[in-house]
Each structure stands twice: as C-alpha cells, then as structure tokens.
Amino acid sequence: MLPRPRLIALTAGAASATAFAPLDWWVAGLICFALLLRLTHEAPTLRQALLRGWLFGLGHFTVGNNWIQHAFTYQDRMPPVLGYFAVVLLALYLAVYPAIAMGLAWRFGRASALRRPGLPFVLIAGAAWIVTEYLRGVMFTGYPWNPLGVIWLPLPGVAQLAGWTGTYALSGLTVVVAGTLYLATLRSYRPLAGAAVAAGAAALLLNPAVTPPRPGAPLVRVLQPKIGQETTLDGTRAERSMLALTTLSNDRATMLPGGAVPRLIVWPEGAVDYWIEDGYPPEWYNRADPFVVRQRIAQTLGPKDVALVGGTGLLFGGDKQLDAATNSVFSIDAAARIHGRYDKAHLVPYGEYLPMRTILQPLGLSRLVMGDVDYAPGPGPATMEVPGFGKVGMQICYEIIFSGQTVDAANRPTILFNPSNDAWFGAWGPPQHLAQARMRAIEEGLPILRSTPTGISAIIDAHGGIVAAAGMNEARAIEAPMPAALPPTLFARLGNWAAWLVAGLLLLSAIAIRRFAR
C-alpha cells in the first residue's frame, strides 16, 4: 500500500499533464496513469477510489489548462488574477470524469481486496475511461481538451489507430497500456508483452507514408501576421492586422513558382476587424466601407485565387437594432465578391457568450471576447464549395477539438480549414491546439489548413503530419501544394460509435477472461 495516497494522486495527476504538448513526455504520462490504477485498486472503499481519481484529475487538468489564465490578461472588465481561479474552478469540475472512471474500475474490476489486480481490472478501467472522456466532450456544451490518446502523436504509427477507433477509444487503449505497466510491477509480464507487441505492430504497419499531392493540385497559402491580443487593448489591431496580412498574402519572396496555378489563401480567425459584408444600417459603416475592405483583400489575389478570411458578421432585428454577432469565415475572390460564409457553431461559453447572463452580469462577470452583444451560433459543421478548389470544410478555433463533430458527413470535404486565434493562450495552449487538429486529420483522413495570428499555423496532411508550419510569434506565410485527402477512414464512417464499440469489446474481454479463469 502506498503512503499518503491522496497527495500521490494529486502529484501524479499534475505530472501526467507533461505527456501533452508542448513537452510530449508520453512515457511520463503512462507511468502516472499506471500509478493512478494502482491507487485505485488499493483504495479500501469506493468513496476512496472516487476521491483518488478526482484528486488525480484536479492536478491533471489544472496543469494541462494553465494557458487559460493567460486569456484574462487581454481584457479590461475583470482582473487578470481571476484567470488563476478560473483554471482551478474548471479543473474542479473536469476532475469528476476521471473520478467516475476510477470508481467504475474499482466497483466492477476489483474482484477482491485480497487479490492482486489482473487484466480484467485494467480492461474495465480502459472501457470506463472511454465512456467518461466521451461524456466530457459532450456534457454542458463539452470540453474534450487534451484527450489522452493525443499523447501518441510523437509515435505516428500508433497515432494512426485514431483513424480506425477515434481519439476517445485510443485514450481508453492508452489506459490499458498504462495498466499493463502496473501489472508488470507485480511480476505479471504477459499483458505488458502483449501491449508492447500490439504497439510495435501498429507502429510498423500503420506508420504513414507521405501521400504526394495530386498532379496539378492548386497551392494553399497560410498567413500568420504576428499580431497579438495586446493590439486589441491599444486600438491598433484593425489596421495593423490588415496591413500585415495583405503584405503576407502578396509576398513574392515566399511564393512557390506556380505561374497560373490558383492559390487558396487563408487568413486567421477574426483577422479583419472591419465589416466585410454589405447590407448593414449606414451608421455601422463609420469605420470603413465593406466593399473597400474587400477590394484591399482582392488586390492581393491573382485572377484564380480565393481568400478565406476570418471576420465578424452582424445580425439585426426587425427594428434594425443589433441582436447578435457571428464569428465567421468569408470566401472572397479576386473581384472582391463574397462567394460564401460560414458561422462558427460551437461557441465558447464565457468566451463568445455569457451563460445565464441575467444572473452573472450583475455580479461583474463578462465574456472574454470584447463587445456588447453575444455571438450567435451557426448551424453546425458545413462544407463550402470554393471555386477552383472544391469542397472545403470549416471549423473555427476550438471547434476542431470535438472528435466526430468536425465534418458534414453528407457533404464530405476534401480539406478542412481551421482558422484560430491562439494569441490568448500563452506557451502551452497553441501547441496543444495544434496537436488536437492533427488528431482530427488522422481520424477523418483529411488535410487541414490552420491559420492563427501568432502561431502555431500549419499545413497538415491527411495522416496528421506537418507539411509546413510557422512557429510561435513568427510573421510568416507558408505555401505548398494542396495535400491530398484519403478515402474515408473507418472512424469517418462510424463516428463515435467506434468509441462505444471499443469500450464494449474491452468490457466483454474482461468478462470472458474472468470467467475463463474460474
């Protein structure tokens, strides 16, 4: 029995967060989760098992979400110190899910307090983790940040399993691998050997080969202007951002020799602080005429080029009063015409809208994104037909973290565009966000274009590999032939039913092993 199990659970949970980007210490993560399973099995009561799982989750999510505090430094309605409380309060809630997983493992996987743990306990823990991580992604609008399966990205062959099982199921299998380490400390080596063989086989058989772009593929160009959130507070963001992005869009020194090859040029989330659409009441045009704004963008385009530009839309009521705003992407051609618009569907609570506004606003709370009205959600994952470039799926900012919710299955795109603004999120948030976008590429078999103001922007192939990237706080445009899409993966066809299938197989395996042992 380990001494001070509660302190060990909290410490191990905090250390387990180092398995994710930017550190990627995945071995340390497996060791910490092995320790969690030991603490769970040694718990004398269900209540103690739940408490140990909760303390582990508290440490895990506090460290893993430390970047959220950084966002509070870029608004003037609440003191930045509230950011530290926000991180801990969020972790207090998120820790409930590991607690439930460990409670289920203790209740249904721990055969006897006198017996050593066996493989059924580990398999049930893996199944429970799949269920609770899925619930974390859907309950109360969902927050599946840093799913455990993402730690395998440094091992591309293992990470490709997400294309078969999805990320949630891969997270449960990761718990099983950690459990085999725990069993090995009890001199039960066969499960560990089996896990090592399975991981080795995946690494060899699924290790992705580079898929070349199709012949004659158009070019894609991703812009990163290095415009931080501090410019929002000093009022210079709108024009500085426009100048930086139009310069990068037309920077000949960073263009590939293509002649008449069309380019799809993508701008970050919210890059244009001027209105882009026409049709608003005249008093709203006091900053700049929308047509002039589009002309400035169009002047950087070749005759066959198209720009996907992040901006803000406005929604007015019948009395011409502003009702809401939209976080949008506009498709603009060389003639300054708008060909399409996508509105972000999965909005960030407390970021883009304030839940229970009538209660929380009088208490002095506000949303982090500036403005006097909340954002309104769009209809959901959508595919935009972009002339000359085919079908482009849209996922703005953290919409990309929701496994199984990123693609319109009825109108499958050939590439995904993920504009974001990670300038809010310090040193840990951007690489974690990028890692989760790479997992979506693997799951769906689709390349992703990711553009942010300060990094990390990237062109990601359909295997989750980085074709080109602009690093943190680097002003740069990156350009490459459009990566090819793969045929729909098994996960793309099944969605998160794959997670439930794997959870069921783990549970049935645990039952079969236990009955066979009798």
Q: Write out the chain's pLDDT in tens, 518 residues.
A: 889 999 999 999 999 999 999 999 999 999 999 999 999 999 999 999 999 999 999 999 999 999 988 877 766 666 777 778 889 999 999 999 999 999 999 999 876 544 678 899 999 999 999 999 999 999 988 999 999 999 999 999 999 999 999 999 999 999 999 999 999 988 887 777 777 777 777 777 777 877 778 778 899 999 999 987 766 555 677 888 899 999 999 887 778 876 678 999 999 998 888 899 988 887 777 678 899 999 999 999 999 999 999 999 988 887 778 888 899 999 999 999 999 999 999 888 766 766 555 544 544 455 455 556 788 889 889 999 998 899 999 999 999 999 999 999 999 999 999 999 988 888 999 999 999 999 999 999 999 999 999 989 999 999 999 999 999 999 999 999 999 999 999 999 999 999 999 999 999 999 998 887 66
Residue 64, both tokens: 């893993």
Catalytic member of 133, 226, 269, 479: 269
Nearest one of 411, 350, 351 to 379, comparing CA atoms: 411
CATH (one of 3.40.190.10, 3.60.110.10, 3.40.1000.10, 3.40.470.10) for 219-485: 3.60.110.10
344 is annotated as an active-site residue: yes
**What is the model's pLDDT at position 281?**
84
Catalytic member of 344, 399, 443, 444: 344
Residue 298: Cβ within 10 Å count: 17
Query: Tokens 């006198």 map to which residue?
Result: 114
The partner residues of 419 in beta bridges, in order of sequence, read 451
Q: DSSP state, 426? A: T
How many angstroms separate the CA atoms of 347 and 374, rounded?
A: 10
Q: Are 212 and 462 in contact (CB under 8 A)?
A: no
**What is the model's pLDDT at position 115?**
66
Please report, for residues 53, 112, 503, the alpha-carbon distance to residue 9 in angstroms, rounded to integers and kept in the order given.
7, 22, 25
**What is the model's pLDDT at position 362?**
46
Catalytic member of 32, 226, 397, 443: 397
> In sequence order, which ranges of 299-449 are alpha helices (DSSP H)?
357-360, 429-444
269 is annotated as an active-site residue: yes
**What is the model's pLDDT at position 189?**
74
| Domain parsing of the chain, residue ranges | 5-209+495-517, 219-485
**What is the model's pLDDT at position 287?**
72
Q: Evaluate if pTM is beyond 0.85.
A: yes
